[in-house]
Structure 1
Amino acid sequence: MRQGKSKIRGEVQGTFLKGCVYVEEKFYLILAKNSAQMLLINKLLRENGIETDLVPSPPESGTVCAIAIKIQGVNLEKAKNILFENQIEVRGIYEDKKMKLQGLIDKKLGASVSKEFLDILKKIEDGDELLEKEIVYLLSTKDIKEIESIYAAADRIKRETVGNVLEIRGAIEFSNYCCKKCKYCGINSQNKIERYRMNEEEIMEVVGYLNKIGLRTVILQSGEDPHWGTERLIQLIKRIKKETGMRITLSVGEKSFEEYESLKLAGADNYLLKIETTNRKLFKTIHPDGDFDSRLKCSRWLKELGYINGSGNIIGIPGQTIEDIARDILYFKEMGINMIGIGPFIPAKGTVFENMPPGDIDLTIRTMAVTRIVCKKVYIPSTTALASLSKDAQIRALKAGANTIMLINTPAKYRTNYMIYNDKNMVDIDSAIYAAKKAGLELPKYLKL
């Protein structure tokens, strides 16, 4: 469902209009009390003929990472009646208003940038959605004043939607076994590396540490490892929930609908499955045993099941164009992605791309900023890959729309073998605190140090 203008003939809000007019169509966002209630409401509305979409929650809800049910304004009263008849109390119903940002343009700026850029900036001020060609312009401009304005707009949107607090997550890379042949990845099945699998007790020891320092979310990441199948993961998820109550993000690849559903029912909250590129031809090039439509299907299943849905792309992967990146950003918007991981391509030893140059840091940060402008209230990590190319790059990203850092908490004896790319930076809590202070962000209150 896309917000826009509806073409209406005849009577409009009690007024008879001759010919054809355009009326701005209103949309509303229903915010449930929890994930289970959200899925129930979404099911009830659809069964009663109301078209819905699941999107990131509105800024005024006060909830940083949640999913709202989007409906057309013409269906609002019907939806309210359905909620009343089923005795469902919700957290709130909000009009899906444009986010306006007055003050982005002043006379001094207007005299130093192009008219095309000013027109785009005016659309950002008015809260209007950007076209692909406008996103391409923002990604392509070389003008320093324009770039500074892009970063300033992204930073302001971040502060007004998700706040000025650095979100910190702890990641455990629990297996580097993988059955896939992705050409860019250092742990692909054909690469000759030392393999490892952590057992449940090893994982729980790290989870205990993360819980002790106050982190609320643990990220369980691995290659697509058949040994760590759904049943083993369910057992692990249930134990983490029982012993710590932490939120759980899974990043374990493509699975069936039934598997995703079982993992969600066991207690998984979030799922990260990067699209990596929306260019079908390029996707096939870097995933010789992958299927673009299957990846899309998995992302839709995750959304349908009520996961906080994560995706992302790789900037500078061989064969990529600026237009590809712009389409990636539009995909994140249209899919209603909640968490968007954007990192530079870094070659991995032993892969066919081993001798290719890394992705451009400036373009990666610019992509983060434009993604913030387009997608608004989402989690955007200042990625480990950025920190691997430059410590300052991670700080720059936090000043340009990013709001999250992922710590690498894989035990020292394993972490050097989870080399999805060369010279990986092992971001720890000290470096996260340093980055937050340098970027002018507050540390989260849940942190216990």
Structure 2
Amino acid sequence: MKASKEKYIIICYSTSEMLNADRVIKSQGIHTDLVPTPIQYGSICSTSIAIAKEDRQLVENTLKENNLSFKEIHPYESRKLSGLMESLKKNIITHTFRDIMSKIEEDLDITKEEITYLLKTESKNEIEAIFQTADQMRKEIVGDVVEIRGAIEFSNHCKKNCNYCGIRRGCTVPKRYRMEEEEIMEVIHQLHSWGIKTVILQSGEDDYYTTEILVKLIRRIKRETKMMITLSIGERSFTDYETLREAGANNFLLKIETTNKDIFKFIHPDDDFDERLKCSKGLRQLGYVNGSGNMIGLPGQRPEDIAEDILFFKDMAIHMIGIGPFIPAKGTPFELYPQGSVEMTLRAVAITRLVCKNVFLPATTALASIDPDGQTKALQAGANTIMLISTPAKYRSNYQIYSNKNMIDLQSAFRAVKESGRKLPKYLKISPEEVQ
């Protein structure tokens, strides 16, 4: 599908109906894409089916013949960035940059080469225009409200040996820990009392927490709080993912970290890129609100690699994209490697907003860990989400995926929102004055 004007969007009543419709359409040899629903048609969290214009009638007939209901099917309407090219008129920019910005204004897809150009440009005017354009798109697509979520790092045990990670199997950490269900629920209820709508349950790849244990926890969270649940627990089987989804898990965060297979193998000596990709595709197939992300500044990484990552997020219809600088932990094989650049990380965030549009983009903790103003800068560059570190104090210092981790709390989140000129969500039941 070359341009948005050639697409039709099918909106279904539920995730299960959408997945069933997609399966039937594909069985007829018709190409489909699962994409985050354009904001004019629905929630940022929902997924729709994109088809080519010429397949519209065949698809509609196929759905009717199979008694599959759908809410809407209509042309994808372009979301043009009004006045973008006019605002660049007086800027000293190259013809190449002007052509790229023109395509972005017209809601046309940009290529890997064009993304790479945006990542590489050293022109102050062009860099400034990238950030301004991303901020304009963020405002027009997802608005001014910053989503606030709470993350609980419930275990720092991990069976994997990633070369940069401070909780890797071979790393000596201050103390390994696992949180009990009651401890997790105590934090859950605290977040719920603040009005937080989504909790992120994050851990190393720890087989102690079986699917049965996690299902019990998920069902209890749903029963007692009805909160949305994001899991970030690494690679599991398709059957496990399916069982957790049926239990009530809504979102899943599994970062690809890099789409360069050589770099992936270098940083993950006991991981397999194709297995990670298979897991991501399985999560999408099961209808999770799918999360991914990458690290900026990995050893050997080039701007072309980052461009591939951004296109991967788009092609995989990723809803939540966490982009942070590479920060190796002390005591790991990579501890002497240089950390990633704040500026390049911010630029990757901005360009991801321009390419992927209607997605959640966190102002990541990693960014805040190497720049005290990192989250404010990210919010001004297209980000729209902050994740609080809600792990109990007695465990926090032991969950060091990278060194010198910044512990994002309500106070720092409120500060970043205020400094970036953004708005807090109305669902919060706690005010900035209450956390001074």
- 2:404 is aligned with 1:406: no
Deviations 1:383-420 (A, max 9, x none): 00011111211101101110000000000000110000
Q: What are the residue-to-residue correspondences of 1:296-335 with 2, within 5 Å?
A: 296-335=277-316
The aligned length equals 429
1:40 CA displacement: 2.8
**Deviation string for 1:110-164 (max 9, x for gaps)?**
5511222111111111222111111111111121111111011111111121111
Aligned partners of 2:44 and 2:319 also within 8 Å: no
For normalisation by structure 1, the TM-score amounts to: 0.92
2:224 corresponds to which residue? 243
Label 1:108 to 1:47 Cα distance change in 2 as closer, same or farther (>3 A). closer
CA deviations 1:308-344 (Å, max 9, x no partner) are: 1111100012221111111111111111111100000
- The answer (yes or no) to whether the contact 1:313–1:342 under 8 Å persists in 2 is yes
CA–CA separation in structure 2 for the residues paired with 1:111 and 1:40: 49
Larger radius of gyration: 1
Q: CA deviation at 1:84?
A: 4.7
**3-state secondary structure, aligned to 2:234:** coil
Letter aligned with residue 36 of structure 1: S
Structure 1: which amino acid aligns with 2:208?
H
Give 1:259's aligned residue. 240
Q: Which residue of 1 aligns with 2:50?
A: 70
1:360 is aligned to 341
| Residue 143 (structure 2) pairs with residue 163 (structure 1) | yes
- Aligned-partner Cα distance in 1 for 2:231–2:71: 27
Alpha carbons 1:59, 1:160 under 8 Å: kept: no
The structure 2 residue matched to 1:133, chosen from 98, 109, 113, is 113
Query: What corresponds to 1:289 in structure 2?
Result: 270
Match of 1:351 among 313, 320, 332: 332
Aligned-partner Cα distance in 1 for 2:195–2:57:
42
Q: What is the TM-score normalised by the length of structure 2?
A: 0.94
C-alpha offsets along residues 188-247 of structure 1, whole Å, 9 cap, x if unaligned?
Answer: 000011100001111111111111111111100000001012111111111111111111
Q: Does 1:222 align with 2:198?
A: no
Please tell me whether residue 32 in structure 1 is matched to residue 15 in structure 2.
no
Alpha-carbon distance in structure 1 between the residues aligned to 2:194 and 2:13: 27
Q: 2:123 aligns with which of 143, 150, 155?
A: 143
Residues 98-137 of structure 1 correspond to what in structure 2 (within 5 A)? 98-106=78-86, 109-137=89-117
The one-letter code of the counterpart of 2:352 is T
User: Counterpart in 2 of 1:417?
Assistant: 398
Q: State the Cα distance separating 1:85 from its structure 2 match.
A: 5.6
Alignment equivalent of 1:393, drawn from 374, 382, 387: 374
SS class of match (1:426): coil
Partner of 1:8: none
**Secondary structure at the counterpart of residue 204 of structure 1:** helix
Unaligned runs of at least 5 residues, structure 1: 6-23
Which residue of 1 is the match for residue 434 of structure 2?
Answer: none
CA spacing shift, 1:266–1:156, aligned 2, 3 Å: same
Identity in percent? 54
Separation of aligned partners in 2, 1:166 and 1:374: 20
Q: Does 1:4 align with 2:6?
A: no
CA distance, structure 2, for counterparts of residue 108 and residue 80 of structure 1: 42
- Counterpart Cα distance in 2 of 1:58 and 1:144: 32
Give the CA deviation at 1:63.
1.1
Aligned counterparts of 2:248 and 2:108: Cα–Cα separation in 1: 37
Q: Deviations over 1:17-61 (max 9, x none)?
A: xxxxxxx97321122222222223223333455432211001202
- Tell me which of 189, 197, 206 is aligned to 2:169: 189
Secondary structure of the residue aligned to 2:125 is helix
Q: Is the 8 A contact 1:181 1:289 kept in 2?
A: yes
AA in 1 matched with 2:57: E
When residues 78 and 115 of structure 1 are mapped into structure 2, their CA distance, relative to the original with a 3 A threshold, is closer
Gaps of 5+ in 2: 431-436
2: distance between equivalents of 1:187 and 1:201? 23
